C-alpha cells in the first residue's frame, strides 16, 4: 500500500511516486509536472492498481484512492479544495476538466438487498466513471458509478449524477438532469 499525506513540491511528489513505483511495483505513470497543495493524499492498494497523471494541479486536501483499479487524470485538470476520488475499478477523467470544491467521485457502491445481513457484509458492486474533455464539475457535486459525462459538459453545483450526461450539456439537480447547450 502507498499512502502520502503531505504537501510537497512537484519535484518531491514525483520523486516519492517514482520511489513507490520502483519499490512496490505499483503502476504509476507521470506524464509531466504535477502541482499539489497542502493535504494531498494518495492511497494505492493491490497489484492491479494503476494511476496515470498528466499535468494536473490541486488546491488543498485532494484525496486519491486506488484499490485494484485504474485512475486516469488527463492534461490540465484542476481540482479545487477537498475533492475525493475513490477508484476500485475504472475512472477516466479527460483533458481540461475543472472541479469545484468538495466534489466526490465513486466507481463502486455497497450491496444492500439482503435484509438479514449487515450492509458492510454484503460486498460491493463495481462500475466505471468517465468524464470527457473540457468539463466543469460544480462544487459539492457527487458522481456515482456507471456514469459517462461527455465533452463540454457543465455539472451544476450540488448535483448528484446517477445517469450519463451527453456532450454539450448543462446538467444539474438531484438527481441530475441534462439540458443541451444552444
Distance CA 121, CA 129 (A): 24
The answer to whether 152 and 167 have CB atoms below 8 angstroms apart is: yes
Q: Which of 72, 76, 108, 110 is catalytic?
A: 110
Q: Is 76 a catalytic residue?
A: no
The values of phi and psi at residue 15, to 5°, are -65, -45
Q: Which of 127, 138, 73 is nearest to 101 (CA)?
A: 138
Q: List 30's β-bridge partners, or say none.
A: 53
Q: What is the rounded CA–CA span in Å between residue 9 and residue 136? A: 26
Catalytic residues: 110
Amino acid at each position: 500500500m502507498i499512502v502520502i499525506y503531505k504537501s510537497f513540491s512537484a519535484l518531491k511528489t514525483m520523486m516519492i511516486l517514482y520511489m513507490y513505483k520502483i519499490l512496490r511495483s505499483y503502476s504509476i505513470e507521470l506524464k509531466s509536472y504535477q502541482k499539489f497543495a497542502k493535504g494531498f493524499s494518495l492511497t494505492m492498494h493491490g497489484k492491479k492498481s494503476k494511476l496515470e497523471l498528466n499535468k494536473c494541479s490541486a488546491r488543498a486536501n485532494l484525496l486519491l484512492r486506488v484499490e485494484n483499479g485504474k485512475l486516469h487524470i488527463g492534461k490540465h485538470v484542476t481540482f479545487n479544495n477537498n475533492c475525493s476520488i475513490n477508484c476500485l475499478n475504472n475512472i477516466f477523467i479527460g483533458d481540461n476538466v475543472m472541479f469545484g470544491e468538495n466534489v466526490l467521485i465513486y466507481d463502486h457502491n455497497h450491496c444492500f438487498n439482503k435484509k438479514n445481513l449487515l450492509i458492510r457484509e454484503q460486498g460491493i458492486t463495481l462500475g466505471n466513471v468517465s468524464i470527457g474533455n473540457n468539463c466543469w464539475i460544480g462544487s459539492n457535486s457527487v458522481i456515482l458509478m456507471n456514469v459517462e459525462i461527455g465533452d463540454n459538459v457543465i455539472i451544476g453545483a450540488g448535483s448528484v449524477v446517477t445517469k450519463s450526461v451527453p456532450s454539450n450539456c448543462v446538467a444539474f439537480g438531484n438527481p441530475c438532469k441534462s439540458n443541451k447547450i444552444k
